[in-house]
Amino acid sequence: MKKNILLTCILFISMYLVYFVHLQFIPTQKEFLVRSYFMNILIAMISLILLGIGIQKRKYNLTSLYLLTVVLKVFVYFIYFDPKFRLDGIVTKEEFFMFFIPYLLCLSAEIFLLSRRFS
């Protein structure tokens, strides 16, 4: 339990540091970056909780739970982020990276935290 709390704290600290660097490149999009990082952290925490329950109960198929969390992430992207990115008709590199940098960081953290649970 203490190990999971420590690793979760590391996730939050690393997300904050990456956010700070990301903000230096796109200072005009501060509010949207905050939303993007918050949504990705929230989804990552939900994924970790669902997968943690699946690991403890051992009666759930972890592959199905993981695919469910991936579908949740894609759903959030297409419902919340994609319409905002396509307001002007094109998706710029900055807009693309506003979602996918925190997404990839959270995905990496999920994989790392789950691998630590199995070791």
**91: phi > 0 → left, psi -120 to 50 → alpha, else beta; which?**
beta
pLDDT digit string, tens, across residues 52-95: 777 677 666 777 777 888 888 889 888 988 888 888 888 888 88
Query: CB–CB of 1/52 below 8 Å?
Result: no
5 burial level (CB within 10 Å; 0-12, 13-18, 19+): exposed
pLDDT digit string, tens, across residues 20-55: 998 888 888 888 888 889 988 888 888 877 777 776
The span from the CA of 53 to the CA of 119, in Å, is 17
Indicate the domain borders of the chain. Answer: 2-22+30-118
pLDDT digit string, tens, across residues 1-23: 566 677 678 778 888 898 899 88
> Residue 98 to residues 9, 40, 109: CA-CA distances in angstroms?
22, 11, 18
